[in-house]
Structure 1
């Protein structure tokens, strides 16, 4: 982390907007109430005072909205940089592991399979749950800088220690509101490859070199692998390129507006309306902004464009942006009452997130056990506890919806699905919500959800049968494969569509986009079924990144095999609980902790 961010390191999203200056103010509604009492405002205040307070409140709402909208844009852009790094670093390894089990062209023919996409979904979901903490701090800093630049362009004074105060922007509210409207008019932020980043040629070359080393020729005579032959190079290259495209398609299923719960709550329900918000932000951000200007050679006070970004802010649209995923943030700068319940003060964000996930997964597994026994009320309670522990993973809501459907609680099932779909547009979420809509008599909404299922998963037989029974057709379609029996199965005629494409067209689903076929013939190896299995976190104490003592001798050598003070502290409390849960062998989705095996 650059030195200029060192003091922000301990001010993560859960603390950046919560703790104020030396007076200990908090950016919450209580500040506003205290401020109003200090003015001795009665229910019959003077009209001019009421109008002034309303204007200040509108200003604060606009500032909060600017921070939120820009934060959503930042998640989309910064996580797009993260995905580029994943494609460059981790996808070559994935291709190698698949090739070892099924030959060099397996990925080329199976890159869009549900098995591969489910692996991507799990890993991306785990990354997205970190976006709130990793992006929020930097995003708020950038947005404060933009507000500061806007103030400077209008000759608004800025305190060198406490930064910009919101009330000084009140005369320029109309310009601020216009900027907010321009931001809100922008398209919904989605994941796409950042234009300033290069091609994936470096990853492609690394993949080919690794294949050459492991599966190439032994000397100049015979191939090292008898099934590979001499034409493996274009096969792995084609598969790698298509796999990267699948990664981006899966990422676009996720909605950035459903993440960053901590910051979102602070900007919506706990934002102060008394006109002091940016004053508190300035206490945290001002020194960083000034150091950034000094180090980048930008003259302090220089007027710049309203947005401000790209003209002196460190890392903007450069390869350094993804560094936020390498930063080890911690909570040691927070007050004790700012910790979540049960979290030790010396735990890093990585340790906290690991503890939360493993604890939530334990609750989910207990819910699954109750679900299998038919005790759906107990399952509901377990799934609810899992979601309370880890609210930024959508699959707990999907489990909750399944339990509510078994209890015939259609409204709660619908709400759980809607919440999950706000983060990830999954076929399970749409299908279960369609069932809830149907049982409530909302047929049109059920039809829309079922069509959404088939757009994501065109071969979903359950959705085809369900949609067929809801559409006002006398002759429902049938699939070329065996379909589950339905009440309308007796109405078969020779005029029904037979191919999958015809069925989708008959149901009103656009034909799926045809993927480009590989420029080489399919072999028997490409029809092998592979299974991708996530590995559990390492259960050994002191190694939180999935490697054992034997695998990291350089670390143990540096510490002499002993724990320092912080490591000793981590060996107690919740860190012990993490080790205990790890021992239960729960899988931990990750880009580097998985195995690829043959399923046949």
Structure 2
């Protein structure tokens, strides 16, 4: 029994208190009179009731941490995307308009090519949410619990921090706070109201384009594709591109990320009452150092929500962007070290190592899939997901292999797991195929309709949906009209397509607002976005290609930590080897734009 429960006396199964008489007088256990009373789960001294009360308290605290973590991911990543719109999108705009002209983005900002690039970069960012957000979020939540305890005059140990058992008398208040959090709107990735506009970046972008593409003086000629209203086209394209970024981000569900913390809070959260104590041992020192450095209000004036909660009023203009912080705040867990990872690797290096290992497993699965060996492909895809569970595409690959093997239930489960992270058209379509084969057409129809809402021009999904919802039989009058001109038949076909979508229950996509200027030939050019190989932490040499774009040539480096003459560890050499064998590593600054032709 833990020391903090040693004061609790044991009772028999019948509830009678026992006393043990020691000595040579031959006394044995003596039963005392027991008077029944109404038990209180918060003050009852039996070990069973005490353990139950602490367990309820710990589970409530775990739920508080989890809900706040989900809101913190949504809020911090919204801040991250705002920075992406300010820092990375202007560069993306420059690369696109260099090849397509100033109005190209105005007409192509919503293309699948651009959205797929955004999806890949956002997916890699969300993959890091567990490591980047969880540490801060747990610290802030602990600070909130600590402030709540202080406001109720609960003693907090200077070294070990807050003990959960001391909060037992205040469990109703904590439960009320949990109910308040559970009733808050779902966390969404969306632009925060207090964040600024893009006006300054628009001016900087215009200035850069003016220097590069328009008259520098009366002698230097302008670029032939840049007319007098290029500023209006550029601003319009930049604004629409930013809106596309936010729309794509809302396809991702923050509740599907942070698997390590989520597992600890739901599956491994200890029932013995020690979890919050361990949390206090980890966080207390950091909290006290921050208070000593920045100060804190005393007594009941302390904030219930703590330093960084996103639930109430966390709207400072200088919110830190934790994606700009190096992931060097801790080493790997002992379990990971046992698997061959160096104990001195940073979290950033560990993440790169895991990603490379998972991608190598995926490539072997792809090779087996192309050969028709779907069972082997399943093994490789499953291994890739076990290594890197924060990326949904391994589950989508797994679903594709299961569909080939007619494992409909396994395919559906894999798609559902992927859709909890990213609501992709590929995941919805594959789940619809599995559900159709499981003779659940209504659910398959629902998924296919969702696909068409995301991609109205997905002809494969439309064909599947039409097969599930057969067309009504034609009347004799319709069958009698066979002689029609070519133009009338074409008009009839277009009308039929609209009728089909209406009959299938697919909402008509909102027509995109046409730009306030005429489309030109350069606006119709096809551009491709190529992800550069390699991973974060690489050093780069910047050179110009024939089109005037910068290309990053990758040089392996371990985050600048290696010095001349040092001997690489086994894992460092392994990482360098894997870098040369694969892989595209999507990122906001790891791509090149080229003409499709």
Distance 1:311 1:495, change over 3 A: closer
Separation (CA, whole Å) in 1 of partners of 2:395 and 2:294: 46
Q: CA deviation at 1:584?
A: 2.5
Match of 1:417 among 415, 423, 429: 415
Separation (CA, whole Å) in 1 of partners of 2:204 and 2:539: 24
Bigger radius of gyration, 1 or 2?
2
Q: CA deviation at 1:169?
A: 0.8
- What secondary structure sits across from 1:414 in the alignment? helix
Distance 1:143 1:455, change over 3 A: same
Match of 2:399 among 398, 401, 413: 401
- What secondary structure sits across from 2:345 in the alignment? coil
Match of 1:355 among 353, 356, 373: 353
Instruction: Identify the residue that residue 8 of structure 1 maps to in structure 2.
Output: none
Q: Deviations over 1:223-253 (max 9, x none)?
A: 4311112221111111011100000000000
Separation (CA, whole Å) in 2 of partners of 1:398 and 1:383: 9
Q: Answer yes or no: is the 8 Å Cα contact 2:129–2:257 preserved in 1.
A: yes
Instruction: Identify the residue that residue 535 of structure 1 maps to in structure 2.
Output: 532
Match of 2:265 among 227, 248, 267: 267
Match of 1:67 among 55, 65, 74: 65
Match of 1:526 among 516, 523, 528: 523
Q: CA deviation at 1:295?
A: 2.9
Separation (CA, whole Å) in 2 of partners of 1:430 and 1:370: 24
Instruction: Identify the residue that residue 544 of structure 1 maps to in structure 2.
Output: 537
Q: Answer yes or no: is the 8 Å Cα contact 1:80–1:192 preserved in 2.
A: yes
Instruction: Identify the residue that residue 512 of structure 2 maps to in structure 1.
Output: 515
Separation (CA, whole Å) in 2 of partners of 1:595 and 1:504: 37
Separation (CA, whole Å) in 2 of partners of 1:412 and 1:39: 49
Q: Deviations over 1:46-70 (max 9, x none)?
A: 5943222111111100000000000
Separation (CA, whole Å) in 1 of partners of 2:333 and 2:304: 35
TM-score by length of 1: 0.83
Q: CA deviation at 1:284?
A: 1.8
Which deviates further from its counterpart, 337-346 or 279-288? 337-346
Match of 2:428 among 430, 439, 464: 430
Structure-to-structure mapping, 1:218-257, within 5 angstroms: 218-221=216-219, 223-257=221-255
Q: Answer yes or no: is the 8 Å Cα contact 1:363–1:382 preserved in 2.
A: yes
Q: Answer yes or no: is the 8 Å Cα contact 1:332–1:346 preserved in 2.
A: no
Separation (CA, whole Å) in 1 of partners of 2:87 and 2:243: 15
Separation (CA, whole Å) in 1 of partners of 2:237 and 2:12: 70
Q: Answer yes or no: is the 8 Å Cα contact 2:58–2:271 preserved in 1.
A: yes
- What secondary structure sits across from 2:530 in the alignment? strand
Separation (CA, whole Å) in 2 of partners of 1:421 and 1:514: 27
Q: CA deviation at 1:205?
A: 2.0
Q: CA deviation at 1:38?
A: 11
Match of 2:583 among 574, 581, 586: 586
Q: Answer yes or no: is the 8 Å Cα contact 2:435–2:444 preserved in 1.
A: yes
Distance 1:185 1:524, change over 3 A: same
Structure-to-structure mapping, 1:187-198, within 5 angstroms: 187-198=185-196
Separation (CA, whole Å) in 2 of partners of 1:339 and 1:440: 43
Q: Answer yes or no: is the 8 Å Cα contact 2:130–2:259 preserved in 1.
A: yes
- What secondary structure sits across from 2:184 in the alignment? coil
Q: CA deviation at 1:302?
A: 4.8
Q: Answer yes or no: is the 8 Å Cα contact 1:294–1:300 preserved in 2.
A: no
Separation (CA, whole Å) in 1 of partners of 2:308 and 2:371: 58
Distance 1:475 1:289, change over 3 A: farther
Q: CA deviation at 1:156?
A: 1.3
Instruction: Identify the residue that residue 488 of structure 1 maps to in structure 2.
Output: none
Match of 1:439 among 431, 437, 440: 437
Structure 2 residues not aligned, in runs of 5+: 16-38, 40-45, 475-488, 544-549
Distance 1:502 1:104, change over 3 A: farther
Structure-to-structure mapping, 1:363-378, within 5 angstroms: 363-378=361-376
Separation (CA, whole Å) in 2 of partners of 1:78 and 1:61: 25
Separation (CA, whole Å) in 2 of partners of 1:562 and 1:447: 54
Which deviates further from its counterpart, 124-133 or 211-220? 211-220
